[in-house]
Structure 1
Amino acid sequence: MHHLRCISPVDNSIYLERALAGEAEVRVALDRAIATQRAWRLTPISERVEIVHRTVEFFLDRKNRLAEEICWMMGRPIRYAPGEIEGVAERASAMADIAEEALADIQLSAKSGFSRFIRREPLGVSLVIAPWNYPYLTAVNAVVPSLLAGNAVILKHSAQTPLCAERMVEAFREAGLPYGVFQFLHLNHAYTQRLACAEEIQHIAFTGSVDAGAKLEHSVAGRFIQVGLELGGKDPAYVREDANLQQAVEAVVDGAFFNSGQSCCGIERAYVQEKLFDEFVERAVAQVSKYQLGRPDNPHTTLGPLVRAEAADRVRAQIDEAVVEGAQPHLSTSDFPLDKRGTQYMAPQLLTGVRHKMRLMREESFGPVLGVQKVHDDGEALEFMNNSQFGLTAAIFSQDEEVALAIGDHLQAGTVFLNRCDYLDPELAWTGVKRSGRGCTLSRIGFEQLTRPKSFHFKIQG
């Protein structure tokens, strides 16, 4: 029997092993999902909501244990890992709180002799394919709304974070969710593709790379099912001359380097108005210099390892190439003793003198590096911000809300921030444009991706 191995980025040890599911396990899971969904879809929404709220309590009660597992599986510093569990509670609770209203029948204006309304029906069985970088937060975006909408869910999690799938299913079972409504499968790529193509699957939520998303979309082409894709990002920040400089520095640096830069909506490029440029760079470098690169199980560590050595070396290669092309690095790797090429422990870096022809400013980095470029005005900033194949989020730092809104109307992004970045508000739609994907999770709009409208047009006789 084939196994998956979770290699911990902490020390390259085998953290855990799990047997991979095969044909028989996939068939059983699909049959069970179909059978249990028939009853689950008839369960009152109020009961589904209560189960979600009890699940939230499970997570919060076990926050520290789950945080330690996150630390060892994907390398988030232990001082920050509990925040993900708190984020799960926030998002799950928010979606539960709006579910009844969002899923209620749509009543139309009165028409004599007729009863007319639109009902939202669940799609059936959802397949959620989740990544390792925010293993619970990315999964909860799709799992919780799908269950609330009356679907059954099969969760395939990253091989880097398999325990997260197990813990999520355990939490919902403890909360009273009927057995089989929510299941996990540990799968290799071949069986994941076969599962996605199974006729029982009527909705797929995928978070991952652009290439993997394109292959998935190609695999299910012609099935006419809902496929939500959250893919890459190269998110920009723009610091206007009227910005609160210190607040902007702190937010941009945190947005770029939190989770070692391994965030799809992290800041990867910054544009700073020329009057503030030099001081922004000086303050940002000072801020980044404070990071403590170290083992994530050390409570003093503020910058942990990347998930794998190969990932770190890809980021290093982007930096090296940019420097050869004229970029100026502002931090010395010697200030971060644990940094070593060929390992997952990588020093942070901030570069100026960057240009858009550089891969560093065009391709997703997914690591602790930030390119900062000087701009003359709003128009130039807007041009640079939109000059990307991605469009997940964009951040503006300014004290002029009216101007920020005008800029935001022209930004090609799913979310526009003012004076903050790298955050998901569960009551707002989470979506991307261009190669950042398509579809929507969270908010009332997110439920529309998980249901189909069914119109009722009754002529009343007698």
Structure 2
Amino acid sequence: MPVQKTISPVDGSVYVERTLADADAVELALDSAVVAQKEWRKTTLSEREAICRKAVEYFLNNADEIGLELTWQMGRPIRYTANEIRKGFQERANYMISIAGKALADVEVEEISGFKRFIRRDPLGVVFVVAPWNYPYLTSVNSVIPAIMAGNSVILKHAQQTPLCAERYARAFEYAGLPEGVFQYLHVSHEQVAQIIGDNRIDYVAFTGSVEGGHAVQKAINERFIVGGLELGGKDPAYVRADANLEDAVENLVDGSFFNSGQSCCGIERIYVHRNVYEQFVGAFAELTKTYTLGDPTSGETTLGPMVRTAAAEFAQKQIDEAISQGATALIDTSLFPPHQSGTPYMAPQVLVNVNHSMQIMTEETFAPVVGIMPVENDEEAIRLMNDSQYGLTASIWTADMDAALQIGEQVETGTWFMNRCDYLDPALAWTGVKKSGRGCTLSTIGYEALTRPKSFHLKINA
């Protein structure tokens, strides 16, 4: 049987090996999911809530161990990985559990004498979640917990880089007493993913990944009357106005650019700064960037770990070299970061100026610890440049003027518009993208709509 290997970016060793599921195992999982869901949908919301909250408890009880696994699987520094569970995962899971009653309640309509009418939100059936490696718990929890709360069963396929995350979910739900078959995971190939999506027993696909992967998912569902939620790439911009609190903007935008080695779909990849404060901003930004420590992510001193694989670092370096050849200036001396070395996933952060939109570094997703900074003359130029992108996941503005932020935000083509913050998902708000950043929605009460179908009840009362 084919074997899947997870190569750790920490040291290049094989950290995990898993045999891929064969056709019989896939068939059993699909059948089990269908059978289990028919019973699970009959449970009350309070029963589902108790189980899901206990699953969250498992994750919190094991956060440190899970964090260490995550560091070895994808390279994020150990000082941060447990917080993916303790902060974001817990926040999103508990919020989506807490609003399920409201989000799934019957929709009442106007009363008509002699009739009872309402709309009920029925679970779809079997939800197939395809999750990525960069934030493996934060991305998957957006769909897994609300899908189960809505009465669906779930099959999770995690990225080859982070297979242990899928197995952790299974342990958590076993600990919580979830009935067998309601949650399952499969380690499968890309070809098998396409076959599973095409199977009539799958009722919804929640995919997070690349634009290329999104096209593959879309192709797989095209022959069927189902839809998929697609959260894809990003080239997220920030605009620093002349009235911004520069110290706050620099601190948060450096973090938004380089956290997780820039491997975030909603990370900051391009910054536009009003010319009046441009030089001051750029100088402070570069100086703060130099305080990062690139190194072994299992060390508590490290603040910048390796990229997920050498090929990813090489792709980003190619964009940097191309931009420099076209006139860009690199502000960071990579010798300040001794582990930085070609042919490895260890990549120093980089800040580029004298950039423009003829350069791929300002238009194509980089997904690395690299950011380009451009001066702008006014709001209108900033809006034009922010919108000059094939992506639209998040965008941020840094200003003291709320009215200006709202007015500009109305004109920027993005799924989420931030003021004085970035790179954060508020579970009370819809998480969605426009353009090549995808379609559909997770989180918030709106996120439950994709995981259910409306069923109308039109009942005539006999006199």
Query: Normalized against structure 1, the TM-score is what?
Result: 0.99
How much does 1:109 deviate?
Answer: 2.1
Q: How does 1:317-336 map to 2 (within 5 A)?
A: 317-336=318-337
How much does 1:107 deviate?
Answer: 1.2
Q: Does the residue aligned with 1:232 lie in a helix, a strand or coil?
A: coil
Q: How does 1:45-444 map to 2 (within 5 A)?
A: 45-86=45-86, 87-444=88-445
Q: Distance in 2 between matches of 1:352 and 1:387?
A: 18
217-226 or 261-270, which deviates more:
217-226
Q: Does the residue aligned with 1:80 lie in a helix, a strand or coil?
A: helix
Q: Does the residue aligned with 2:78 lie in a helix, a strand or coil?
A: coil
Counterpart AA for 2:10: V
Counterpart AA for 1:69: E
How much does 1:222 deviate?
Answer: 2.9
Residues 125-154 of structure 1, C-alpha deviation per residue, up to 9 Å, x if partnerless?
A: 000000000011101011111111111000
Corresponding position of 2:43: 43
Counterpart AA for 1:44: T
Counterpart AA for 1:278: E
Q: Distance in 2 between matches of 1:398 and 1:48?
A: 43
8 Å contact from structure 1 (residues 107, 116) kept in 2: yes
Q: Distance in 2 between matches of 1:222 and 1:309?
A: 37
Corresponding position of 2:8: 8
How much does 1:172 deviate?
Answer: 1.2
Structure 1 stretches of 4+ with a deviation exceeding 4 A read none
Q: Does the residue aligned with 1:96 lie in a helix, a strand or coil?
A: helix
Counterpart AA for 2:331: H
Corresponding position of 1:33: 33
Q: Does the residue aligned with 2:418 lie in a helix, a strand or coil?
A: strand
Percent identical across equivalent pairs?
A: 55
**Are residues 1:18 and 2:18 paired?**
yes
8 Å contact from structure 1 (residues 22, 191) kept in 2: no
How much does 1:442 deviate?
Answer: 0.4
Q: Does the residue aligned with 2:18 lie in a helix, a strand or coil?
A: strand
Q: Distance in 1 between matches of 2:419 and 2:191?
A: 42
Q: Does the residue aligned with 1:258 lie in a helix, a strand or coil?
A: helix
Counterpart AA for 2:454: P
How much does 1:226 deviate?
Answer: 2.2
How much does 1:461 deviate?
Answer: 0.3
Counterpart AA for 2:49: V
Q: Distance in 2 between matches of 1:425 and 1:52?
A: 20
Name the Cα RMSD after superposition: 0.6
Q: Does the residue aligned with 2:159 lie in a helix, a strand or coil?
A: coil
Corresponding position of 1:452: 453
Q: Distance in 1 between matches of 2:281 and 2:338?
A: 26
Residues 367-409 of structure 1, C-alpha deviation per residue, up to 9 Å, x if partnerless?
A: 0000000000000000000000000000000010011000001
Q: Does the residue aligned with 1:198 lie in a helix, a strand or coil?
A: coil
How much does 1:83 deviate?
Answer: 1.1
Q: Distance in 2 between matches of 1:182 and 1:314?
A: 36
Counterpart AA for 2:432: T
8 Å contact from structure 2 (residues 221, 227) kept in 1: no
Counterpart AA for 2:39: A
Counterpart AA for 2:210: S
Counterpart AA for 1:255: G
Structure 1: tracts of 5 or more residues without a match: none
8 Å contact from structure 2 (residues 157, 185) kept in 1: yes
Counterpart AA for 1:313: E
How much does 1:220 deviate?
Answer: 1.2
Q: Does the residue aligned with 1:72 lie in a helix, a strand or coil?
A: helix
Give the total of aligned pairs.
Answer: 462
Counterpart AA for 2:18: R
Q: Distance in 1 between matches of 2:225 and 2:341?
A: 48
Counterpart AA for 2:257: A
Q: Distance in 1 between matches of 2:194 and 2:151?
A: 24
How much does 1:65 deviate?
Answer: 0.3
Residues 62-113 of structure 1, C-alpha deviation per residue, up to 9 Å, x if partnerless?
A: 0100000000000010001111002111100000000011001111122111
8 Å contact from structure 2 (residues 131, 207) kept in 1: yes
8 Å contact from structure 2 (residues 263, 368) kept in 1: yes
Residues 305-353 of structure 1, C-alpha deviation per residue, up to 9 Å, x if partnerless?
A: 0000000000000000000000000001111110001110001000000
Counterpart AA for 1:331: I
Query: Normalized against structure 2, the TM-score is what?
Result: 0.99
Q: Distance in 2 between matches of 1:161 and 1:423?
A: 22
Q: Distance in 2 between matches of 1:89 and 1:203?
A: 24
Counterpart AA for 1:352: V
8 Å contact from structure 2 (residues 158, 166) kept in 1: yes
Residues 238-285 of structure 1, C-alpha deviation per residue, up to 9 Å, x if partnerless?
A: 000000000000111100000000000000000000011000000000
How much does 1:288 deviate?
Answer: 0.3
Q: Does the residue aligned with 1:79 lie in a helix, a strand or coil?
A: helix
Q: Distance in 1 between matches of 2:174 and 2:71?
A: 24
Q: Distance in 2 between matches of 1:215 and 1:71?
A: 29
Q: Distance in 2 between matches of 1:219 and 1:48?
A: 31
How much does 1:2 deviate?
Answer: 1.0
8 Å contact from structure 1 (residues 430, 441) kept in 2: yes
Q: Does the residue aligned with 2:317 lie in a helix, a strand or coil?
A: helix
Counterpart AA for 1:34: V
Q: Distance in 1 between matches of 2:422 and 2:221?
A: 34
How much does 1:46 deviate?
Answer: 1.3
Q: Does the residue aligned with 1:360 lie in a helix, a strand or coil?
A: helix
